[in-house]
């Protein structure tokens, strides 16, 4: 099996409207489809599916996904940081230089942690070796 790259992620969220505002208006994702309890957004080459599941308990960060990281050019990084700060998005780490590039970790409205990182895998491995 030869995987070509990252395709999409599907997130369970508590409020479709609140999350669409965050992903579209703050992060700059493009809304492609909105259904009754789900939506699809493009973010660069990847896409995100949001599924409203208000009945689910909040995520436990002890098991499962820790965070989801997306690549961002270094020329765009500080603008992205400013945008997150402008909208009072909860930043949990950074901005800082780490793993061969700039990084920042932040939370969406349901506490799902994202990271924007400017380094390639090769740069990160060179730094960790």
> Out of 76, 86, 115, 127, which one is annotated catalytic?
115
CATH superfamily of 1-55: 2,3-Dihydroxybiphenyl 1,2-Dioxygenase, domain 1 (3.10.180.10)
Per residue of the chain (129 residues), give pLDDT as tens: 665 667 788 898 888 999 999 999 999 999 999 999 999 999 988 889 898 887 765 555 445 667 898 888 899 999 999 999 999 999 999 999 988 899 999 999 999 999 999 988 788 768 765
pTM of the model: 0.79
Q: What are phi and psi of 81, to 5 degrees?
A: -60, -45
Q: String of b and e for 54-77 (b: at least 16 CB within 10 Å)? A: eeeeebeeeeeeeeeebbbeeeeb
Which sequence spans correspond to the domains of the chain? 1-55, 66-129
CATH no. for 66-129: 3.10.180.10
24 is catalytic: no
């Amino acid at each position: 099996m030869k995987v070509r790259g990252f395709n999409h992620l599907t997130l369970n969220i508590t409020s479709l409207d609140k999350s669409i505002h965050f992903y579209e208006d703050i992060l700059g994702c493009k809304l492609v489809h909105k259904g009754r309890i789900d939506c699809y957004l493009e973010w660069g080459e990847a896409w995100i599916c949001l599924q409203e599941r208000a009945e689910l308990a909040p995520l436990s960060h002890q098991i499962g996904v820790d965070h989801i990281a997306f690549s961002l050019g270094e020329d765009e990084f500080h603008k992205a940081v400013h945008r997150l700060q402008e909208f009072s998005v909860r930043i949990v780490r950074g901005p800082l230089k780490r793993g061969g590039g700039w990084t920042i970790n932040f939370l969406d409205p349901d506490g799902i942690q994202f990271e924007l990182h400017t380094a390639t895998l090769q740069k990160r491995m060179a730094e960790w070796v």
